[in-house]
């Protein structure tokens, strides 16, 4: 995982650590986990990484193709995230997706899927941070590995 490197005694952050300690957390909390002895450095680091992610938005394999297909077919859409609302409100425009979404459902992946399903929406789970077996417990319409998954 290249998103967070350069701390943790040089040990790369794996998916489990990311899911438990970073995903969905506020920037202050992430900074404390990553740099417990230098919170300001941690906040600066998190901010820089978010800026890098924003510049890579169409580099997310298949995302631009998928969003165009969804728009071309007139499908309704909502953003589901495990991030706190302020983080989501920052990242959606940073990724250039402000005009793409009709609604924003904010919650963690599992709860976000459950909310969408409960609202009667078809929901697609994405296994970038949580395993398929966990997401399936929320009864999504479909679970995919990435935006180019042939199941789409």
Residue 47 shares a structural domain with residue 115: no
Predicted model pTM:
0.45
Work out the mean pLDDT of the chain and round it to a whole number.
Answer: 75
Residue 73 shares a structural domain with residue 40: no
CA distance 132 to 117: 16
81, β-bridge pairs: 106
Domain count, the chain: 2
pLDDT tops 70 at residue 27: yes
CATH number at residue 136: 3.40.50.1000
CA distance 30 to 34: 6
By CB atoms closer than 10 A (0-12, 13-18, 19+), residue 101 is: middle
Residue span of the structural domain in which 44 resides: 13-55
Residue 69 shares a structural domain with residue 47: no
Residue 122 shares a structural domain with residue 70: yes
Residue 8 lies in a domain: no
Over the stretch 89-138, which tens digit does the pLDDT of each residue have?
767 766 777 778 766 554 446 777 888 888 787 788 888 778 889 889 99
Residue 6 lies in a domain: no
Instruction: Tell me the CA end-to-end span of the chain in Å, nearest whole number.
Output: 25
Q: How confident is the model at residue 17 (pLDDT cuts 50, 70, 90)?
A: confident
């Amino acid at each position: 995982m290249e998103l967070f490197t350069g701390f943790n005694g040089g040990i790369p952050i794996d998916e489990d650590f990311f899911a438990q300690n970073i995903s969905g957390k506020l920037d202050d909390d992430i900074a404390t986990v990553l740099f417990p002895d230098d919170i300001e450095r941690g906040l600066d680091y998190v901010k820089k990484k978010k800026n890098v992610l924003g510049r890579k938005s169409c580099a997310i394999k298949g995302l631009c193709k998928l969003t165009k297909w969804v728009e071309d077919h007139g499908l309704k859409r909502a953003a589901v995230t495990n991030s706190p609302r302020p983080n989501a409100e920052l990242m959606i425009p940073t990724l250039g997706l402000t005009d793409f979404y009709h609604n924003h459902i904010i919650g963690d992946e599992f709860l976000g899927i459950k909310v969408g399903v409960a609202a009667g929406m078809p929901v697609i789970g994405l296994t970038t941070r949580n395993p398929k077996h966990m997401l399936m417990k929320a009864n999504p319409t479909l679970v995919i590995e990435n935006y180019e998954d042939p199941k789409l």
